[in-house]
Amino acid sequence: MAGRGKLGVIAGGGALPLRIVEGCTRRGEGVCVIRLAGCADAALTAFPGEDCGLGEAGRIIEALRREGCERVVLAGLVRRPNFKSLRLDWRGAALLPRVVAAAARGDGALLDLLVAELAAEGFRVVGAQEALDELAAPAGVMGAYAPSADDLADMRKAAALIAALGPFDAGQGAVVAGGLVLAVEAAEGTDAMLARCASAPVPQGAARSARGVLVKRPKPGQDRRIDMPTVGIETVRRAHAAGLAGIAVEADGALVIDAAETIAEADRLGLFLYGFDPEETHAP
Amino acid sequence: MAGRGKLGVIAGGGALPLRIVEGCTRRGEGVCVIRLAGCADAALTAFPGEDCGLGEAGRIIEALRREGCERVVLAGLVRRPNFKSLRLDWRGAALLPRVVAAAARGDGALLDLLVAELAAEGFRVVGAQEALDELAAPAGVMGAYAPSADDLADMRKAAALIAALGPFDAGQGAVVAGGLVLAVEAAEGTDAMLARCASAPVPQGAARSARGVLVKRPKPGQDRRIDMPTVGIETVRRAHAAGLAGIAVEADGALVIDAAETIAEADRLGLFLYGFDPEETHAP
């Protein structure tokens, strides 16, 4: 696939950038990794690329162009600019006022700005699932366990709630248990949301010990090339610690990192992993 | 006001039941306090009434009737039935399946059921603000500080978000700072929501050190006699600890407990306290 040209990977925190880089390398595709200071995984230094501050927009664009990257993926991006690791260059400084204004409106606005800037420079910005198609969540039951009718009802409610929050650029996750909204995700992220579910009062009268569904899906109208919801082994472990029955994500609207290991862990802990069609989430 | 008959107070946790009982007693109105086991303030034992489990529906109704209560207020109710302190009597046992089903749909459904049951027995269920009118949040600026234009924009966004969550019976609170949704309240309650805001990343570029608004308002269509949002001294202290600029509540749609002391604390800590008209919350 050398004909596609090198893939530029602007790498933030978490496991996603490394998985993409490893996957492309395995398939013989070249990469240029822009390791963002203060968040990129140290293991990424084994691959060709550069360490940059998020504010070095000029240097980032120059490096991507010099290496002949036509496609660029933003993966595991920092969610809020940290001024200590920005390392502004002239180009970054020129962008800064718009970055600050966008950051204040929410993560979605900030990422839309970055994508527009890269596109204006002639790069084709692709989603993580296009860069490495094994990441996209499939439809249906992924592991050994399937959601019950009650679980599907909880899933539909959480999915509809996330859709209703779309205009507020608030979050991509919610937990519903036995019809009760246990938690709604905002700036704190999925891990913190699951942590508080672990100490939440469980609805009484539940016939099962494990109850409740974590749902993650993109915001309505969200650009699918950036900031896709992700789940992985840690998500499964935290959902289990929170006493949930399973995890549902929108098929093709979320990334499953290390899918084989993640599904194996869900099987081991007795949780279902389910990819839903958006059509399924309408109330019956 | 003896002509109105005694006020029955079904007392759950927190300061609200005690304030209502003290206020009515101060004005020479009789009260009969049903102290719910496991949650009512110990100070309530100084007033006439009975200790009951939430499941002793027969005994509660009998006590209210025997004491000649025509009006009943549900204040500081337990949010989720705790089976250990239910103490079911026959009448309560007959109600239980519906209570469990309602609890699973959310707090609103549970409270609607209790109100319907009391009304069916001929009691007039009144809101806390009717039982003690000094509790209702007034319109406008309450203390020494007024919200800025930025604060009002944050307030409008949080208020609209809560309204959008109405159909999900999820919560009555949200925090928005500089246009960014920091937190959305669900089963965890306002205190836990403010605690996580204290450790949330603050949007950069903020000109002020204190930024962000806690908004509390009823769910759309909510019965105003039950489960009204409340703020008090502790809310002010926690909002301050979270670094917020102030608190906004819907005028006549929230209760301010110990209003004089709460406003004094907000003045001391430099926070605004503001009662908004629902019309104000439409985007400009």
How close is the nearest chain B Cα to the Cα of A152, in Å? 15
What is the mean pLDDT of the segment spanning B230-258? 95
Q: Does domain B2-133 have CATH number 3.40.50.20?
A: yes
Q: Does domain A136-281 have CATH number 3.40.140.80?
A: yes
At A116, is the secondary structure helix, strand, or coil? helix
pLDDT of residue B1: 42
With a CB cutoff of 8 Å and minimum separation 6, the contacts of A129 are: A135, A136, A224, A228, A252, A255
**Which chain A residues touch B170 with a CB distance below 8 Å?**
161, 181, 184
Closest CA to A113 of A100, A132, A131, A130: A100
Closest-CA residue of A relative to B212 is A104
User: Are A103 and B205 within 8 A, CB to CB?
Assistant: yes
Q: What is the pLDDT of residues A18-44, one digit of tens each?
A: 999 999 999 899 999 999 888 889 999
Say whether pLDDT at A58 is over 80.
Answer: yes
Q: Tell me whether domains B2-133 and B136-281 share a fold.
A: no
**Which chain B residues touch A204 with a CB distance below 8 Å?**
80-83, 100, 103
Sequential DSSP letters for B146-170: ---HHHHHHHHHHHHHHHHHGGGT-
Contact between residue A175 and residue A116 where contact means Cβ atoms under 8 Å apart: no
Q: Which residue type occupies A82?
A: N
Q: What is the pLDDT of residues B248-279, one digit of tens each?
A: 999 999 999 999 999 999 999 999 999 999 88
Say whether pLDDT at B152 is over 90.
Answer: yes
User: Are A161 and B170 within 8 A, CB to CB?
Assistant: yes
**Which chain B residues touch A181 with a CB distance below 8 Å?**
106, 168-171, 186-187
User: Are B183 and A182 within 8 A, CB to CB?
Assistant: no
**Which chain B residues touch A81 with a CB distance below 8 Å?**
204
Best B83, B95, B188, B244 residue to mutate vs chain A (most A CBs within 10 Å): B188
Those residues of chain B whose CB sits closer than 8 Å to some CB in chain A are 79-83, 100, 103-106, 157, 160-161, 164-165, 167-171, 174, 178-188, 192, 196, 200-201, 203-205
Q: What is the pLDDT of residues A158-208, one digit of tens each?
A: 999 999 998 898 889 999 998 889 999 998 989 999 999 987 655 544 444
**Which chain B residues touch A167 with a CB distance below 8 Å?**
164
Each domain of chain B, given as residue ranges in start order, spans: 2-133, 136-281
What is the mean pLDDT of the segment spanning B66-84? 79
Band of the pLDDT at A47, cuts 50, 70, 90? very high
Contact between residue A40 and residue A13 where contact means Cβ atoms under 8 Å apart: yes
**Which chain A residues touch B103 with a CB distance below 8 Å?**
180, 203-205
Name the residue among B168, B183, B192 with its Cβ closest to that of A161.
B168
**Which chain B residues touch A193 with a CB distance below 8 Å?**
none
At A177, is the secondary structure helix, strand, or coil? strand
Best A79, A181, A281 residue to mutate vs chain B (most B CBs within 10 Å): A181
Say whether pLDDT at A85 is over 70.
Answer: no
Q: What is the pLDDT of residues B181-198, one digit of tens each?
A: 999 999 898 999 999 998
For the CA atoms of B60, B133, B78, A183, what is the dihedral angle to 10 degrees? 150
Q: Report the alpha-carbon distance of residue A36 to residue A86 in Å, rounded.
A: 9
Q: By CB neighbour count within 10 A (0-12 exposed, 13-18 middle, 19+ buried), where does B92 fall? A: buried
Give the ipTM: 0.80
pLDDT of residue A49: 95
pLDDT of residue A263: 97
